[in-house]
Structure 1
Amino acid sequence: MASPAASASQDKPTLGEVVDQIGLGPAQMRSGILGGGVWMADGAELLLIGSVADVLSREWELSRFLKGFVVTIVYTGLMVGNISSGPAGARLGRREVIVCSYAGIFLFSILSSTAGGIGVLLLWRFIVGWSIGFGQPAWLAINAEITPSKYRVVTGGLGQALFTVGELYAALLLQMDDPSLKHLDWRRIIQLGALPSLTLLCFCWPFLHQSPTFLQLKGRHAEAVEVLESMKQDNGALDVSVDFRLAPPPPPEGFLQVMGRQAKVIMSNRLWVPTIAVTYSCFIINLSYYGSLYAFPQVLSSLIDSGAAQQLFIGALWEFPGILVGCVLGMMYPRLTSAKFYLVLLATVLLLFIIGGNNRDKHWAFDICLYCGYYGIKMTPLIGFVIIYQVANEIYPAEARTLGCGLCLAGGRLAAMLGPLVFEGITALTGTWLSFFLLMAAGAVLNLWISDFVPETAHLVLDDSDGESKEN
């Protein structure tokens, strides 16, 4: 028979229901900027290193493989960081992982700018990538755990917007240094690209709250209530009670035990097929976005006589409508419907870019196809990032959320890691960049079928007291 205290606890709302009652407001905005800034650092670092690859190749006389590998090594680090973020976030805390991420990005970016040879540069860039990947699943977990179910896709979109802000910052650095992208001072650019991480680190340490879900999973109920009280005050929800249902205290576990338990949840009968499907979806998003991010500086400089850097800046601006469309679709339609819309649009704009780029000298209409395809490729993956990354959080219970999300993101990072090498390889093999974009279009079409294996997760309240979710 349950004790009176236990019965009273069961009458209280779950932590997820309390978060829904607190609502959306300044609390989520502050955390979104401070924690979601890992995406801004990501955007700045990745555009810069892809843009200076040609300069590095000429300065150090690199082969095509090494030229692509300078960028691939960053994505390799991102993938490793995504995977290691799960057990670290479950054991140390989501907030602490994000702080370490900013510190690593800044320190090792500065070190990479001092490299005197390709081996040292590859080492430092790998650690930069690991640092970025280390923080991203932790932020996605915090975002899901402090945001009302109705608005999770909106705050998730904020992170993608910050990625674009970082990309715009990098494009401005490139524009000021050399608009043609052919004579860049790569050391100075990498140093300036590290400054956003230092700024975010200085503000994140004192002002970013720990996830209340992490605190309650660790049995730190009073600290979780304190965070919820702060959120309540920030959002003006003064009449909301933050006393939530207690979760049973977790058993003491080591690092490997935590990772093993999380892996067991992810590979359960209910989750292993959706995990594979979402991982493939992340693969296609990352291949289309990051593969293009590497390819565009080279392709545009060959298609456009001048102003390639300006087009990189304009292209980054087109990502904001993509984020907006993703948020609107996520609010109004089921996740799977939104995902299929994005995939059809992605295949269409890739084909437009192929047609326009291959025929632009024949008629002015092909110029329109080229630019519509280019801006569409910059915009459309952002719709997918908003929708698919949200699903990657929502399909997992709290105890396995950072690892499950990290594995899905790692699958995407594998695509980003392979993108530069595949681009260089397929371009060398066929003599044209067109084949690379055709490959991405085929992957998007296949993803339309695979997306049917993902459960619908719209309007789920995350019930983190028992590791399940329920429909609102």
Structure 2
Amino acid sequence: MNHQNQQASSGPNMTFVLLIAAVAALGGFLAGFDTSAMSGANGFLKERFALGNSLLGWTVSCLIVGCTVGAAFAGSLGDRFGRKKVLIGAGLLFALGIGLSALAPTLSFLIPFRMVEGLGLGLMSALCPLYNAEISPAQYRGRLVAMHQLAVVTGIFLGSLLAFSITGWGDDLWNQTTGWRILLGCGIVPGVLFLGLLFIVPESPRWLIKHGKPEKALPILVKINGEELARQEVLDIKASFKEEEGLGHATFKELFASKHRFILLIGVMMAVLQQVTGINAIMYYAPEIFRQTGAGTSGSLTQTIFVGLTNLVFTVLSLWLVDKAGRKRLILFGSAFMTLSLSVIGYAFHTGQTAGPLVLIAILVYVAAFAISLGAVVWVILSEIFPSRIRGLATAVCTMALWAANFVVSQSFPSLLASVGPATTFWLFAGASLFTLLFTAGVVPETKGKSLDEIEAMWHEQRERKEALEPSITRP
């Protein structure tokens, strides 16, 4: 008992929390790996299958259709069967999809296999950050949820190194027939690792309590916080679910009810803005962008590695800052620099000054600003702002919106470059970044340091104040 009291007074068992949070975050690594693998492979796929701009966009973004569908069902599946079981199913879908993609003999096989892979990634993208939010102590929740984005950018960086290495094993003809298959096939390794580690992590204690299994949740919470705090947390979580007793699972009708509409608007808008500011256009097509500046195949892939390294370094910095500086301040800072750097990229293409280092520097500034703000912080916001009853469903809807926006950007980017040109394309992204700055300043609340139950109480108090201020309707 003495030891347990010491643990309660000395704070949470962060070694245990970090280990299980890292396993869940591996789902993000798989998404990042696919991004860089396709970035390295799409030029060779374009030649191998004789793809025009629209078909190249579809080959890259068809995975996102699967992601959107997976994210759409993640909330209801996660609420019904548990976070852990659904993530195991997602890991199986990913491993199957990416393995078959690497073996696809024709484009008609490659596209549906990538959609299967996307189903798994969509489920992971909604449930991995949600799982980490539900097992994290409040004071560390921001950085633990942001581990998902750190895993994404680690996957992008290591994938870009792998792409650079594998594409150097042979000439362009070899890469068009064999290199891209090896590159995609390497994704099976982290996929199987993720799947295996999921069997040793616990179920979300909040999900267990919600489904009437506090006796199974208590040992998990004891490992996290010690016995004294764990018992209190079980009582607090039970109290937060008391109003839901006998109501069954959350429905879309509840989600879109007037009392939740404003919170849902914030979540959906932040999810969409993370994508329409252009990050995945750069991540999927970085080699093609650098080729437009005059870099050759080797030079464009080398510059893409710099992009991945910058993304990784500043995401690590974001993990340190998110619970110190706060969510809102980071997004305001990052979106301001994103607006500036995207404007400079557009100007460089507009004036033809792309031969020097200007475009590379501006892209690195943009990626750094995104990584420190929207990249990590949006996942934190989506995992924590919603009331417990609708959290799974609302997170799934927002993640579906995120993937849908990703699809639009990824699908349209090659055609935009060919039609309106790179200058106008990057200025459009700059405009979206400026809107992000204004939207965040106007409506996004700060949630730093608040527990999930305190955030829910904050929304409840705001609704009560609003109702009290509304003029009463006098009856005749």
Give the TM-score, by structure 2 length: 0.85
Superposition misfits of 4+ residues, deviation over 3 angstroms: 18-22, 179-183, 237-241, 246-253, 355-362, 466-471
Q: Structure 1: which amino acid aligns with 2:246?
A: P
How far did residue 241 of structure 1 move? 4.6
| Cα pair distance change 1:349/1:86, threshold 3 Å | same
Greater shift in the superposed pair: 292-301 or 353-362: 353-362
How far did residue 384 of structure 1 move? 1.0
Q: Structure 1: which amino acid aligns with 2:322?
A: G
Q: Residue 217 in 1 paired to residue 210 in 2?
A: yes
**Counterparts of 2:93 and 2:253, CA distance in 1:** 30
- Quick one: which of 154, 169, 184 aligns to 1:190? 184
How far did residue 252 of structure 1 move? 7.8
Q: Could you tell me which residue of structure 2 aligns to residue 133 of structure 1?
A: 122
Q: Is the 8 A contact 1:360 1:370 kept in 2?
A: no
Q: Could you tell me which residue of structure 2 aligns to residue 313 of structure 1?
A: 305
Following superposition of structure 1 onto structure 2, how do residues 291-370 of structure 1 map, counting pairs within 5 Å? Answer: 291-303=281-293, 304-305=295-296, 306-357=298-349, 361=353, 367-370=356-359
Q: Deviations over 1:233-269 (max 9, x none)?
A: xxxx46645353145484384xxxx3xx342443233
How far did residue 125 of structure 1 move? 0.5
How far did residue 181 of structure 1 move? 9.5
Please, what is the CA RMSD of the aligned residues?
Answer: 2.7
Q: Structure 2: which amino acid aligns with 1:342?
A: G
Q: Could you tell me which residue of structure 2 aligns to residue 407 of structure 1?
A: 397
Greater shift in the superposed pair: 187-196 or 237-246: 237-246
Q: Could you tell me which residue of structure 1 aligns to residue 196 of structure 2?
A: 202
**Counterparts of 1:228 and 1:470, CA distance in 2:** 26
Greater shift in the superposed pair: 165-174 or 318-327: 318-327
- Quick one: which of 151, 154, 160 aligns to 1:162? 151
The percent identity for this pair of structures is 17
Q: Deviations over 1:180-223 (max 9, x none)?
A: 99553111111112211111211221x21100000000000100
**Counterparts of 1:19 and 1:110, CA distance in 2:** 46
Aligned residues: 438
**Counterparts of 2:306 and 2:8, CA distance in 1:** 38
**Counterparts of 1:270 and 1:391, CA distance in 2:** 18
Greater shift in the superposed pair: 208-217 or 283-292: 283-292
Q: Residue 371 in 1 paired to residue 360 in 2?
A: yes
**Counterparts of 1:20 and 1:211, CA distance in 2:** 23
Q: Could you tell me which residue of structure 2 aligns to residue 398 of structure 1?
A: 388
**Counterparts of 2:59 and 2:10, CA distance in 1:** 47
Following superposition of structure 1 onto structure 2, how do residues 41-440 of structure 1 map, counting pairs within 5 Å? Answer: 41-179=30-168, 182=172, 184=175, 185-205=179-199, 207-232=200-225, 237=226, 240-243=229-232, 244-245=234-235, 246-247=238-239, 248=242, 250-251=245-246, 253=248, 258=249, 261-287=250-276, 288-303=278-293, 304-305=295-296, 306-357=298-349, 361=353, 367-382=356-371, 383-430=373-420, 432-440=421-429
Q: Is the 8 A contact 1:53 1:68 kept in 2?
A: no
**Counterparts of 1:250 and 1:181, CA distance in 2:** 64
**Counterparts of 2:374 and 2:9, CA distance in 1:** 25
Q: Is the 8 A contact 1:154 1:327 kept in 2?
A: yes
Q: Could you tell me which residue of structure 1 aligns to residue 464 of structure 2?
A: none
Q: Structure 2: which amino acid aligns with 1:193?
A: G
Q: Structure 2: which amino acid aligns with 1:278?
A: G
Q: Is the 8 A contact 2:23 2:197 kept in 1?
A: yes
Q: Structure 1: which amino acid aligns with 2:380?
A: Q
**Counterparts of 2:65 and 2:9, CA distance in 1:** 37
| Cα pair distance change 1:467/1:449, threshold 3 Å | closer
How far did residue 335 of structure 1 move? 2.7
How far did residue 295 of structure 1 move? 2.4
Equivalent residue of 2:202, what SS?
A: coil
Q: Is the 8 A contact 1:55 1:182 kept in 2?
A: yes
Q: Structure 2: which amino acid aligns with 1:295?
A: Y
**Counterparts of 1:449 and 1:24, CA distance in 2:** 39
Q: Deviations over 1:353-377 (max 9, x none)?
A: 2334555758xxx834322212122
Equivalent residue of 2:323, what SS?
A: helix
How far did residue 21 of structure 1 move? 8.5
Q: Is the 8 A contact 1:137 1:405 kept in 2?
A: yes
Q: Is the 8 A contact 1:330 1:387 kept in 2?
A: yes
Equivalent residue of 2:186, what SS?
A: helix
How far did residue 276 of structure 1 move? 2.2
Greater shift in the superposed pair: 110-119 or 261-270: 261-270
| Cα pair distance change 1:104/1:111, threshold 3 Å | same
Q: Deviations over 1:266-310 (max 9, x none)?
A: 323333123223322222222321121122120113322342222
**Counterparts of 1:323 and 1:166, CA distance in 2:** 12
Q: Is the 8 A contact 2:334 2:369 kept in 1?
A: yes
How far did residue 417 of structure 1 move? 0.5
| Cα pair distance change 1:30/1:181, threshold 3 Å | farther
Equivalent residue of 1:116, what SS?
A: coil
Q: Could you tell me which residue of structure 1 aligns to residue 469 of structure 2?
A: none
Q: Is the 8 A contact 2:88 2:195 kept in 1?
A: yes
Q: Is the 8 A contact 1:68 1:420 kept in 2?
A: yes
Q: Structure 2: which amino acid aligns with 1:401?
A: R
Greater shift in the superposed pair: 439-448 or 262-271: 262-271
Q: Could you tell me which residue of structure 1 aligns to residue 471 of structure 2?
A: none
Q: Which runs of 5+ in 2 are unaligned?
A: 1-6, 461-476
Q: Is the 8 A contact 2:70 2:123 kept in 1?
A: yes
Q: Is the 8 A contact 1:274 1:455 kept in 2?
A: no
Q: Is the 8 A contact 1:461 1:469 kept in 2?
A: no
How far did residue 47 of structure 1 move? 1.8
